[in-house]
Structure 1
Amino acid sequence: MSSIYFTLFCLFYYVEPGSLGSMGTPTGCPASLPPINLTTYGSSCLQFNYNHTFWEEARNSCLSDGGDLLQIRTRGLQQFLERYLVSHTGEKTGFWFGASDKDNESQWEWISGDKTMRYSNWQDGQGTRAGPHIPDSDLDDCALMRVDYGFKWYDVPCRNKFLKYSYICQYVQSLPADNCPPNLSKSDLYTYGGFCLKVHYGNYNWDEARHKCRQQGGDLVQIRDSGMQHFLQRVLSGQRSEEDGFWIGASDRESESNWIWASGDPRMSYSNWEPGQGPSQSGFLFASGTLEDCALMRIYDGFRWFDYACSNSFYQYSFICQYGIVHKTTTSTTYETVGDIIG
């Protein structure tokens, strides 16, 4: 009888190859995702997409839902994928994932901007295991995990009409807003991964905005990966209260052009600066950029980041605070600190 119900379900909802046994949305995965071909690994939600496309189109698809192409950073994740795909997939060739040497030939890095690739599974002669430089290899800039070659990684052209493949998206698992600190109002409150994000509308300079965040036990948001950036873009694109931008938690006050996060962490492996802003700022309203020490995410410039004066009465905007999640136990409640978790 159960097989009959399953058949009826498939008549109304087409299931891609490999989705058998993976229906439904796992806890913490974005509710906007179709409830098929989903699984979880650690704090990540993984979605297997079986429509063959180019690498860049695959990445844009992931980004549009607030994620990015999967970054296979550990042997454990590689082995998990191999086990999962052996039992679930109908894909016979390969899957795009999130590594590329488009920016610097032969210098492979993760799409988050992290250049440290401590783990890899390249086939001999591929990627970082390639031999002497071959001119044709300049076109092989995107990473593919080949199912038909023992799940080894290959470098292939990002866009070739004969080379279209499936792909894997990665999303940060989020908790319900009930896991946010109880002193926060529920309006304009969101979760992303292990963080609660509170959007505050109004006119504040950067110092005032940060003070308000810290008063409630948080800090200005630190956008450490493309997933959080695109998540905020989706959330903020629908609002109408702020027309210009939102303060975020980055500054170069301590050392000009050396931008760090508000937490004091100098590692900024991901950024979304407008060209000529941030580390490459040469000044705009002032003779130099030395007074423009605080970061603003501008709405009408594609949510790119700009550096503005921190305490100028002409620069007053809304802001976003970031808080740690609340760990609820039967005996006590603890708060996870705001720190270097994502990125």
Structure 2
Amino acid sequence: MIFPLLLLPVVVWGYCDPEFTLVGEKCLYFETHYKMTFEEAGEYCNEMRGASLVAIDSATQFKSLVDYIYAEGITSNSYWVDGNDKETEGVWLTSSSKEFPMGTPFWTGYLTFQEPHGKPSENCAQLYSSAKFYINDVMCNRTYPFICEQAELPPMKITNEAPEVNSCPMHYVEIGGKCLSFLTYEETTWDEARLRCREKDGDLAIVNDIELLREINLYLKVQELTDHNFWLGASDAAVEGQWLWTDGSPVPMGTPFWGFNVGQEPDGAAEENYMALLSEGYFYFRDVSGSLALHPLCQLTE
């Protein structure tokens, strides 16, 4: 007997069309030579077999995009991305009418305000080179390079899933796969904050994952804690400029973790050697004096 040939589907992981490059979980095309208006850039992308301006879907994807721009050295220009509030002022959507992400860690966060901070005439989103490629709102008729996203995305393997946490002990809450405790009933120095956390079988929190920073921000909003300031478990007190977590691992630098003052944090030199999430700074990483009185943000020690 001759058996018929059984054809099984073949999955090609991470395949992109020739013009596109796999960045994170998206196939992207970076137009760095030509500058167009927001509308023209969208039309140009659409002519590439139905592509569109790149949509920012997650904090992880945003970080991959910014990391790629720096790794490739294409940092001299800002870039259009798929987001606008042209239809309703303050309601930011993509071209496919999906919600555009707001707040930290996407939009530039200064000490006194956070983007989008433009007038009603500034209705389109860009990765702003002068703000280390955080998102900014500008007039749509300005011309910039842009980033296109391949229409048909390849199937991807998920390798960065947060570890499962079945339950957290009393005084802790599960956020992003970790057990965290926000000690809002007291304010202490950084050293004292570590002692408070250790009394609860933990230490000051380590936030190495951008999705965790995003989840912390969302939690603070839901719990109406956005007027509080918190210590994190990082310092460069041992060696100036060498930021380490309390477990000795390096702190991620630059966008999308560190916020802005005049320039990008950390900017306090030898006088500000400890890390905090500040309400005034929209809960990006900030370097401050360890003598300040802030709330401990603890993480359960495994």
Instruction: Report the TM-score, using the length of structure 2 for normalisation.
Output: 0.49
Bigger relative contact order, structure 1 or 2 (CA pairs below 8 A, ≥6 apart): 2
Instruction: Report the TM-score, using the length of structure 1 for normalisation.
Output: 0.44
More helix by share: 1
